[in-house]
């Protein structure tokens, strides 16, 4: 789950694209400045959000892609493309971004980021983004629904959510904390569900996610190690699952 390798990001990209709350993008458009748009994508990874969003926004567009990993930035630079789309990259720590760093942005975006930061960092990010639209997609909510449900699901889910909160990270609390932080600064905030729906057509992704989910739960609660092998075999036999996420849109009030 903490694997940000290009292979993992490539595997999850189709599910991410299907999950994102497209209705929030429709609401976003009326709050954008006239083109050319300047979009800051925080923690861009290989650029999957950019590839999804460029065709849904008016052009021309200039994307500034931020990430700590130069490998991922190279991939993103080469693949976030389209008519009237230009790209530049910035390598560095997102926690250190300030309002001055984001000056001139028409929109700030991120995907699968909020659950990986602390409440203090979210409040700092909200302050840095104040006065401009923000679209944050695919934050985990902590809720998982298996087609082949069993009582142990709740036990592993609770342990995984505890793992997500280690070290003060927000994990499944991310959207609630972010909503409050932006609202406190006067933004109008809307959210929308963005669940992964993993069926037989996405078995490879479901199994990779499942191994990471169970592994994190066991790391958090070592006593689950006795149950984990058999539990993992049962789930792998029917890995159909809905992994719930939520998207957040904040626009100036």
Interatomic CA distance for residues 233 and 140, integer angstroms: 24
Please indicate, yes or no, if residue 206 is contained in any of the structural domains.
no
Q: For residue 197, give Cα distances in angstroms to 59, 63, 144.
A: 31, 29, 10
Q: Can you give the pLDDT of all 253 residues of the chain as single tens digits? A: 335 789 999 999 999 999 999 999 999 999 998 889 999 999 999 999 999 999 999 989 999 999 999 999 999 999 999 999 999 999 988 877 899 999 999 999 999 999 999 999 999 999 999 999 999 999 999 999 999 999 999 999 999 999 999 999 999 999 999 999 999 999 999 999 999 999 999 999 999 999 999 999 999 999 999 999 999 999 999 999 999 999 999 999 8
Which tokens sit at 86?
A: 């230009």
Please indicate, yes or no, if residue 92 is contained in any of the structural domains.
yes
- Note the pTM of the prediction, 2 decimals: 0.94
Please indicate, yes or no, if residue 219 is contained in any of the structural domains.
no
Please indicate, yes or no, if residue 69 is contained in any of the structural domains.
yes
Interatomic CA distance for residues 7 and 11, integer angstroms: 6
Alpha-carbon dihedral 68, 127, 122, 63, rounded to 10 degrees: -40
- H/E element holding 34? none
Please indicate, yes or no, if residue 67 is contained in any of the structural domains.
yes
- H/E element holding 100? none
| pLDDT of res. 3 | 53
- Looking up residue 84, the CATH number of its domain turns out to be 3.40.50.150
Total structural domains within the chain: 1
Please indicate, yes or no, if residue 105 is contained in any of the structural domains.
yes
Please indicate, yes or no, if residue 84 is contained in any of the structural domains.
yes
Domain range for 44:
6-141+169-195+244-252
Please indicate, yes or no, if residue 181 is contained in any of the structural domains.
yes
Q: For residue 151, give Cα distances in angstroms to 206, 214, 245.
A: 20, 15, 22
């Amino acid at each position: 789950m903490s694997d940000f390798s290009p292979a993992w990001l490539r595997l999850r990209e189709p599910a991410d694209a299907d999950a994102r709350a497209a209705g929030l993008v429709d609401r976003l458009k009326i709050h954008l400045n006239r083109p050319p748009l300047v979009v800051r994508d925080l923690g861009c990874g290989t650029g999957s959000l950019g590839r999804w969003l460029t065709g849904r926004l008016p052009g021309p567009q200039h994307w500034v892609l931020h990430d700590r990993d130069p490998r991922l930035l190279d991939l993103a630079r080469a693949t976030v493309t389209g008519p009237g789309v230009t790209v530049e990259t910035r390598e560095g720590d997102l926690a250190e971004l300030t309002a001055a760093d984001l000056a001139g942005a028409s929109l700030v975006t991120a995907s699968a980021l909020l659950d990986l930061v602390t409440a203090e960092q979210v409040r700092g990010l909200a302050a840095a983004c104040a006065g401009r639209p923000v679209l944050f997609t695919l934050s985990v909510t902590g809720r998982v629904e298996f087609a082949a449900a069993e009582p142990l699901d709740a036990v592993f889910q609770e342990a995984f959510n505890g793992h997500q909160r280690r070290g003060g990270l927000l994990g499944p609390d991310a959207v609630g904390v972010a909503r409050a932080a932006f609202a406190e600064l006067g933004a109008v905030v809307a959210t929308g569900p963005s669940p992964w729906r993993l069926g037989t057509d996405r078995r490879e992704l479901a199994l990779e996610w499942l191994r990471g989910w169970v592994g994190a739960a066991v790391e958090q609660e070592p006593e689950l190690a006795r149950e984990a092998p058999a539990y993992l075999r049962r789930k792998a036999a029917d890995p159909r699952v809905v992994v719930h996420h939520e998207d957040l849109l904040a626009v100036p009030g």
